[in-house]
Structure 1
Amino acid sequence: MTFEPQELGQSKADLAETLKTLRKRAGRTQVWLAKRTNMSQTKISNIEGGKLTPSLVDVELVLRALDAPADMVAQVSALARTANTEWQDVWSQRRTGLEKKQNELAGFEQSSTEFRYFLLSMVTGLLATPEYVRASLAAVPGDHSKAIGKKLERQAVLHDTSKRFTFILTEQAVRWPYLPSSAMAMQVDRLVSVSRLPNVRLGVIPLGGHMPNAPLNTFTVYDSRIATVETSTGAMVFRDHRDVSAYLNEFSVYEGYAVFGDEARERLSEWASGFRS
């Protein structure tokens, strides 16, 4: 499916209006539909009012209850998938303030319990030293002290033992010389330190051997409900279960290539020594 950026915002309103129109054409009330779909009347009202974006499962339940024709089912299902996808471009983020993005990520972290991070080319903020965080924003014009502070503040979530984290970093992500050598050595040391937290699994994928699957993007999966995929000009946020499942499956593949525990720490220590030498 092709997503046009302007459609991703409009599709939510279109989906709400379409579902409302279908219900009215069928001569049914929100109360009737709520009973048939095992949802609350408030939820139906919020969906039709555009206050709540329904999942594909919700949409399928509504369409089945209203006995929608097959062509309409396909059309509305496609609309629902678009409505569950969000494009966040970097220029909009800069206009609204990068700390707003940090607040959004903190919200994801607060509402989730299991996190999977695949890091293709850089270290993510939760694992970064202050120097690395500052360097990651250095090319963006303006004062980003609040965003930097929020990034570092978010790292406290790693010590919440009710949450579980799995980080997979490629060798490139670890060793890319983003900072001077001494600072890079400290960054790699931090990865070793974080890997010892009881609720963190940190793995690295060394470049060697045969790996027939090639990653294209850095991505994060929150529980089994949201996947965020980073590009050079922004990020896609997926909530459709098929998209999220696809990234969970991809993560499992790279998990099979990674080394964890003492073996990962041995590799990291070697790379840190390389920076120091």
Structure 2
Amino acid sequence: MSSCAARHSKRCGGWRYRIVNTSPSSSAQEARRALGGRLRDLRKDAGLTIRQLGEATGQHYTRVSKIENGVQPPADHDIREWCRVCNAVEDIPDLIASLRAVDSAYLEFRRQSRAGMKRVLGAHTQKRYEQTQVFRIYEHNVIPGLFQTAEYTAAMLSFWIDFLGTPNDVDDAVAVRMERQRILQRGGKRFVTVLEEQALRTWFGTAETQAGQLGRLLELMALPNISLGIIPLMVERQAVASAGFWIFDDDLVALETPTASIQVTQPAECHMYARMFEVLKGAAVYGRDARGLIIKALDEL
């Protein structure tokens, strides 16, 4: 889980990204208004009034106004007709992806976790893991769940169970995470991972727990389907990302805040995260140099 929660649009090192606040209903409303704003811009760029667009798309002008102001969501058909009339057919995939994300992209941890952390980690995401062929993972202060030892996972989840006030099902939650790690051995999947050196030095549990986790990273580096790069603490770099993120193939980006999971499905925005990932990779070291950073952290324990 990361620690980035903000309003709709921010900039970080020239990288524009979208995140939402911590109220599910308000976040959906903000996303709906943003979608309406994009449709309004298309209409204005086409030189059409609200009435003219309504007549051309077969809907009342008041409905056009409600869609543009985020009061009423459009349907897929509305977006297709809107783009056709505005000569912006190429924008249809991005806009429809945004529409489908409005009410489903923001999943509140506290609501899910009433049934325990097993639900937060659980089976509803398993299908995505099974389907994904290439995982691109960036974490700045924690070891990715797929690479965690059981002891490290238990120590980390114990904090979140207490923080979120969820039922203490840490053993079941750890079992879910350990079972998911089976995909690391599955053929046809690649895991391209970039960690900040700080992730090696963030302790969960005892020194023994941390040492076991670092040893686990050294073992995983030997697997042919895992690429592990580490960005040293003191290195010249082009960009810093303010939150960890996972890219599942090319069609989903997932981020986590202390209170929510955010999913990005808009193609143009997913592409932006992929670009950021490539920039971060450029600052990382690999192979012997990466192993050296892990061994150094182990020695300092």
Scaled by the length of structure 1, the TM-score of the pair is: 0.74
Give unpaired runs (5+ residues) of structure 2: 1-7, 10-19, 36-53, 60-74
| Cα drift, residue 80 of structure 1 | 4.9
Greater RCO between the two (CA within 8 Å, min separation 6)?
2
Number of the residue aligned with 2:204: 178
| Cα drift, residue 124 of structure 1 | 1.6
| Pairing 1:125–2:145 present | yes
| Cα drift, residue 93 of structure 1 | 2.0
Number of the residue aligned with 1:161: 187
Give the alignment of 1:212-251 within 5 angstroms: 212-251=238-277
- Which residue, 114, 118, 124 being the options, matches 2:134? 114
| Cα drift, residue 226 of structure 1 | 0.1
State the 4+ residue runs in structure 1 displaced beyond 4 angstroms.
1-4, 7-12, 21-24, 73-80
> For the Cα contact (< 8 Å) 1:185–1:272, is it kept in 2?
yes
Name the aligned partner's letter for residue 68 of structure 1.
V
| Pairing 1:146–2:172 present | yes
| Pairing 1:196–2:214 present | no
> For the Cα contact (< 8 Å) 1:59–1:80, is it kept in 2?
no
| Pairing 1:208–2:228 present | no
| Cα drift, residue 74 of structure 1 | 8.7
Q: In 2 relative to 1, CA 76–259 (structure 1 residues): closer, same or farther, beyond 3 Å?
A: closer
Could you list the per-position Cα deviations for residues 201-238 of structure 1 after superposition, in whole angstroms to 9, with x for gaps in the alignment?
Answer: 01111111222412200100000000001222212101
SS at match of 2:275: helix
For the residues of structure 1 that align with 2:227 and 2:94, how far apart are their CA atoms?
37
Name the aligned partner's letter for residue 250 of structure 1.
M
For the residues of structure 1 that align with 2:292 and 2:100, how far apart are their CA atoms?
45
> For the Cα contact (< 8 Å) 1:131–1:183, is it kept in 2?
yes
CA RMSD in angstroms comes to 3.4
Name the aligned partner's letter for residue 255 of structure 2.
V
| Pairing 1:92–2:111 present | yes
Q: Matched residue pairs, number?
A: 237
Name the aligned partner's letter for residue 112 of structure 1.
T
Give unpaired runs (5+ residues) of structure 1: 16-20, 27-52
Scaled by the length of structure 2, the TM-score of the pair is: 0.69
Could you list the per-position Cα deviations for residues 167-206 of structure 1 after superposition, in whole angstroms to 9, with x for gaps in the alignment?
Answer: 1111111111222112211110101111111100011111
> For the Cα contact (< 8 Å) 2:193–2:228, is it kept in 1?
yes
Could you list the per-position Cα deviations for residues 122-172 of structure 1 after superposition, in whole angstroms to 9, with x for gaps in the alignment?
Answer: 112111111111011102142222221101110111011210001111111
| Pairing 1:105–2:125 present | yes
Further displaced range: 134-143 or 115-124: 134-143
